[in-house]
Amino acid sequence: MARPAAAKKKAPAEVRKRGAEHAGRKPTPPARPRVARRPRQAEDKRSVILSAALGLFSRYGLHGTSVDQVAARADVSKSNLLYYFANKEELYVSVLRELLHVWLEPLRGFSAEQDPREAIAGYIRRKLVISRDRPDASRLFCLEMIQGAPLLRDELDRELRTLVERKSEVIAEWVRSGRLRPVAPHHLVFGLWALTQHYADFAVQVQAISGRTLQDAAFFEETVDNVQRLVLDGICAPAAVPA
Amino acid sequence: MARPAAAKKKAPAEVRKRGAEHAGRKPTPPARPRVARRPRQAEDKRSVILSAALGLFSRYGLHGTSVDQVAARADVSKSNLLYYFANKEELYVSVLRELLHVWLEPLRGFSAEQDPREAIAGYIRRKLVISRDRPDASRLFCLEMIQGAPLLRDELDRELRTLVERKSEVIAEWVRSGRLRPVAPHHLVFGLWALTQHYADFAVQVQAISGRTLQDAAFFEETVDNVQRLVLDGICAPAAVPA
DNA sequence: GTCTATAATTGGATAGAC
DNA sequence: GTCTATCCAATTATAGAC
């Protein structure tokens, strides 16, 4: 509560050019440890820490991860880490916030004018890309959900809920106009999420059974294709489809 | 390492009839605390602890839960709990083992002779029943997966994998005989798991958005129906379905 | 079998020099 | 901004009486 960074949010907002004011004072910096510091500093350090934290939190959760571990992975000392983030929980929440953005993004882009097939196929692909490229984001999100989302409850009730509401309206419209079979919009949304995130959250299981990963380009395309066909056409042979 | 229960596994396997060998020695057990001990003891107490543990572990994970909390919830003292389970991890693993059984069960029952529609519809319902009645089982399983299933890896590679292999063969057969569209069996299995477990693991999200729970009978049926139709017939209007 | 200490450790957070 | 040295709280686990 009584520390510079601890105050609230941004700590090392602007970093003065190092050595500018020291120029000439010290003839030779007594054994400067770092070799030619890369320009990225401060603001950048925060993000290094954040991504290290994401990696660990998304696997072991808040309690399963110690700040020591995060510090080690980010290659900073524990106390240095605590200079940038007042405490463990603030770090955790910071990670979550960044995440929510990434996670909600694909949801935004489809409207009633689009062709439902196109729109949904595209959405599935985008979500699977995230499962492939940001599995940690997906996992952490999942962890939060399982625990009852104590820290995201508000966002869940507001942003996500209203976003889904709008989206559902689009789906309902598609159904009304006869372009989709009668599905309950909410359930379709849940289904799309479930089907796509599964490949990130249960990656070990997927790997244990299929022996493949989304990293494998062929497997990725195969997955996109299968999920799209499942959702769009179902699995029953046409003959069995009544009306 | 030097305690009766700590030895390895079963601690109070058989409980000698209390006082049998003491008969007559102590005229009156000095102030016996419990009032008319219900017959269920020992073996039963373990299961009380186990279910308390499941409830907490499935929400907060291994690290997010303290043995104190488990003890409190099971209404025993911490040290008493540690009499039954050598240490926290043993308790955790015990919970997991019970769980795996529950979790794998529905997977066993479908064979090539069945009608695919029936078989798959039935499977979806059974899994959703589990999501409704044993959401904690589903959640804990999910937690383990996310963490890379350090403790289930073996079982995953053996039991589950071979089980899925057999199941996939059945699906492949259905496809060959033209009763199902050409789906990759593995992906179908993943899809079924994802769609059904989602309602347990992401229950808060489902609730935040739809305002309902699987506990709500109407919502449950609605869910079963929607998932079944999604998987079997897809969502695209028949016209759009090519061949 | 159950309880009351208590030992032993981990890990989050702070103080203060540099 | 970064480090070293602590402090302090929370937990796991054990000892030993009853």
pLDDT digits (tens, 9 = 90+) for B226-238: 999 999 999 997 6
Task: Identify nearest nucleotide to residue A15 by CA to C1′ distance.
Answer: D1
Please check whether residue A235 touches B, CB under 8 A: yes
Residue B9 lies in a domain: no
Domain boundary among A27, A61, A86: A86
Q: Is the CB of B94 under 7 A from strand D?
A: no
Domain boundary among B51, B67, B86: B86
The reply to whether residue B193 touches residue A202, judged by beta carbons under 8 angstroms, is yes
Q: How far is the CA of A80 from the C1' of D2 (A)?
A: 6
What was the pLDDT predicted at B54? 98
Q: Is pLDDT of B71 > 60?
A: yes
For residues A36 and A96, which has the higher predicted lDDT (pLDDT)?
A: A96
Please check whether residue B15 touches A, CB under 8 A: no
Number of H helices and E strands in chain B, helices first, is 11, 0
With beta carbons less than 8 A apart as the criterion, state whether B94 and B51 touch.
no
Size of the A and B interface in Cβ pairs below 8 Å: 215
A177 and A67 in a common domain: no
pLDDT tens, B87-119?
A: 999 999 999 998 888 888 888 887 889 999 999
What was the pLDDT predicted at B191? 98
Q: Give pTM, 2 decimals.
A: 0.84
pLDDT tens, B173-224?
A: 999 999 999 999 999 999 999 999 999 999 999 999 999 999 999 999 999 9
The reply to whether residue B230 touches residue A117, judged by beta carbons under 8 angstroms, is no
Q: How far is the CA of B80 from the C1' of D2 (A)?
A: 47
A208 and A118 in a common domain: yes
- Collapsing DSSP states into helix, strand and coil, what is residue B167? helix
Among chain A residues, CA nearest to B176: A237
A76 and A142 in a common domain: no
Q: What is the CATH number of the domain that holds A102?
A: 1.10.357.10
Q: Chain B: nearest CA to A132, how far in angstroms?
A: 15
Q: What is the CATH number of the domain that holds B77?
A: 1.10.10.60
Q: How far is the CA of B81 from the C1' of D18 (A)?
A: 18
Q: Chain B: nearest CA to A112, how far in angstroms?
A: 15
Residue B78 lies in a domain: yes
Residue A155 lies in a domain: yes
B48 and B155 in a common domain: no
B168 and B54 in a common domain: no
Residue B100 lies in a domain: yes
A147 and A162 in a common domain: yes
Q: Is the CB of A46 under 7 A from strand D?
A: no
Of the CA atoms within 13 Å of residue B44, those in its CB half-sphere come to 5
Residue A242 lies in a domain: no
A215 and A127 in a common domain: yes
Q: Which domain holds residue B78?
A: 39-86
Of the CA atoms within 13 Å of residue B235, those in its CB half-sphere come to 31
Among chain B residues, CA nearest to A198: B194
Q: Is pLDDT of A217 > 60?
A: yes
Confidence of residue A156 (pLDDT cuts 50, 70, 90): confident
Looking at strand C, which nucleotides approach a protein CB closer than 7 A? 1-5, 10-16
Domain boundary among B47, B62, B86: B86
Please check whether residue B210 touches A, CB under 8 A: yes
With beta carbons less than 8 A apart as the criterion, state whether A100 and A152 touch.
yes
Instruction: Using alpha carbons, list the distances in angstroms from residue A120 to A106, A113, A188, A195, B138.
Output: 11, 13, 10, 13, 28
The reply to whether residue A234 touches residue B231, judged by beta carbons under 8 angstroms, is yes
Taking only residues 123 to 162 of chain B, the set having a beta carbon closer than 8 angstroms to any beta carbon of chain A reads: 139, 142-143, 145-149, 153, 156-157, 160-161
CA distance B38 to B45: 11
What was the pLDDT predicted at A155? 82
Residue B3 lies in a domain: no
Residue B69 lies in a domain: yes
Q: How far is the CA of B19 from the C1' of C16 (A)?
A: 64
Please tell me the total count of domains within chain B. Answer: 2
A192 and A228 in a common domain: yes
Q: How many residues does chain A have?
A: 243
CA distance B78 to B81: 5
A108 and A69 in a common domain: no
With beta carbons less than 8 A apart as the criterion, state whether B110 and B123 touch.
yes
What was the pLDDT predicted at B157? 83
B105 and B54 in a common domain: no
Residue B44 lies in a domain: yes
B159: nearest Cα among B97, B216, B86: B97
A145 and A75 in a common domain: no
Nearest-CB residue to B204 (from A148, A202, A209): A148
Nearest-CB residue to A238 (from B145, B204, B241): B241
A57 and A130 in a common domain: no
